[in-house]
Amino acid sequence: VVSTQLTQYLHEDGYTDYGMIGCTQPRRVAAMSVAKRVSEEMNVALGEEVGYAIRFEDCTSESTVMKYMTDGILLRESLREADLDHYSAIIMDEAHERSLNTDVLFGLLREVVARRSDLKLIVTSATMDAEKFASFFGNVPIFHIPGRTFPVDVLFSKTPQEDYVEAAVKQALQVHLSSAPGDILIFMPGQEDIEVTSEQIVEHLEELENAPALAVLPIYSQLPSDLQAKIFQKAPDGVRKCIVATNIAETSLTVDGIMFVIDSGYCKLKVFNPRIGMDALQIYPISQANANQRSGRAGRTGPGQCFRLYTQSAYKNELLTTTVPEIQRTNLANVVLLLKSLGVQDLLQFHFMDPPPEDNMLNSMYQLWILGALDNTGGLTSTGRLMVEFPLDPALSKMLIVSCDMGCSSEILLIVSMLSVPAIFYRPKGREEESDQVREKFAVPESDHLTYLNVYLQWKNNSYSTLWCNEHFIHAKAMRKVREVRA
C-alpha cells in the first residue's frame, strides 16, 4: 500500500508542480508492477504521467512526473546531476532489503539532503531498522504505519528436513487436500527449485482421483511478464491458488488471499567468491527477519498459518537476526568506480551506514587498477571515466572500450549484451538430452563467448524469430532483451 499510495499523496499535495517524484525499488519486477498499478489507479497510460525505468528499459516520457525505478537507475542519474535537482521528492521504498545500490544511495542522499532543504526524502522499511535509518540521516522523525494484520499460527518442523523441495510439496498437498479455503504461498530460493516444486505438485495431484482444482503459479524475475501478472489475477471460483515464489514475495509483491505460507527457510544471496574473483549466487539460510516477513504474508486478509520447514531451535540458534547487507558481502568494483567519478577521494571516509570490509574495498580497487580505470594514486583515469558511462560490470565496460581500437566493436557489443542478460539456453525437464544436442550445434570449441555470438547471428539470420528460439531451446525473451541492450 505504501508503495502505491505515497507517491499519489505527494502528487496531490503539489510536489509535482515543481519537480518529479522518484520512487526507488530494489527489484525490477516491483518497479514495473507498482508503476503499472499506480497508472491504473490514476487512469493514465503507463509511461505518461506515471512511468518506470530499469536497466536497459526506460518506460517514461516528457510528461512523466511520478517515476518508479530501481535504485541503480537513481545512482546513475546522480552522476549526471549531483543534487538530483529535477526531483522534488524521493521515496526509497523497501530500504530494509539493503541492496548494494540502496546503501550507496543512503550515503549520497545524506549529502544531497544537507545541501537541498527543499528536497523531501522518505525512506520506507518493513523491519525494525527505523531507529538506525533515522539516526543515520540525523535523528529525523519516524512514522509507524500499523499494517492491517491478522494472527498467524506458526508451525515449526519437528525434525530437520533433508530435502526442502520434497517437504514443501508434501506440505502443500496436505494443506490443499485437508484445509479450509485460502491460497498458498511457498517460498523457494530460486527459479530451479520453483520449477521443480510446481511440477511435482501438479504431478502428484494428477495421480489422485477427484482432487480439488489447484492453480499452481510460479513467480521469479526471469519469468515472462504476462506469466508474472497471473499471480495477481483472481482464480476461477472454487479454484485455490498456490504461488511458488522467491523472496520477491516477502515484501515487494503483495498478493491478496494468501492464508497459508510454506517457508523453505532458504534464499539466494549474492556473495563475493575470492577463489573465482566474482560474485556468485549461493543458497543460504534466511534470517529471522526474513522468516517473520514470510510468516506475516499469511495474515494479510485473515488469520493464517505458516509452516516453517525447519525446527524452532534452528530458528533461534542458527538463523542470523537480519541478513548481512549486500555491501558487506559482494564485489565493490562498480561502487568504487561510481564513487570515484562522483569525486569521493577517500573511499574509507565515505558515509556508509554499514562500512564494507576494508579488504573488499582494496581488492576492488586493485581490480580496477589492473583494468586501467584507476592510476597508481587511486585516482580515476580517462579510461575509468569512460567505463563509468556503461551500466555494466567494469570488465565488460573495459572490453567494449578496447574493442573500438581493435576494430571488433560490433561483435564485442553483441557478446557483452549476451553476457548482460540472464541465461539464454534452457533445459526443460524430461528433454535435457534433446536440448543439449541442439545447444551443441551452436558451440564454438575455443570459446563460450563466440558461441553466444554465433547464437545471436543465427537468430538474426532467421529474422529474429520467436519460433526459431523455441525450436532451439533458447529464451526468446532473453534474446529480445539482448537486442534492446545492444541498441
The model's pTM = 0.83
3-class DSSP state of 245: strand
Give the fold, CATH level 3, of 1-137.
Answer: Rossmann fold (3.40.50)
The ranges assigned to domains in the chain are 1-137, 152-326, 339-486
Dihedral over Cα of 271, 69, 300, 240: its sign: negative
Written as nine digits, the cell of 293 is 516477513
Q: State the Cα–Cα distance between residues 148 and 68, nearest whole angstrom.
A: 25
How many C-beta atoms lie closer than 10 Å to residue 336's C-beta? 27
Instruction: Provide the 8-state DSSP code for 244.
Output: E
Specify the residue for cell string 483472481: 234
Q: State the Cα–Cα distance between residues 58 and 69, nearest whole angstrom.
A: 9
Task: Please check whether the two domains, 152-326 and 339-486, share a CATH topology.
Answer: no
How far does Cα 486 stand from its chain's mean position? Answer: 22
How many C-beta atoms lie closer than 10 Å to residue 295's C-beta? 20
- 152-326 in CATH: which number? 3.40.50.300
CA distances from 226 to 33, 221, 321, 323, 423 (A): 11, 12, 36, 31, 19
Q: Which of the listed CATH numbers 1.10.443.10, 1.20.120.1080, 3.90.1300.10, 2.40.40.20 matches domain 339-486? A: 1.20.120.1080
The reported pLDDT for the residue numbered 232 is: 82
Average pLDDT per 10 consecutive residues for the chain, totaling 487 residues: 90 96 92 93 96 93 96 92 95 91 94 94 83 90 84 96 96 92 95 93 92 91 75 84 91 84 95 80 93 92 95 96 91 91 86 91 92 94 93 91 94 92 80 90 92 95 93 89 86
3-class DSSP state of 440: helix
The reported pLDDT for the residue numbered 128 is: 64
Instruction: Provide the 8-state DSSP code for 392.
Output: S
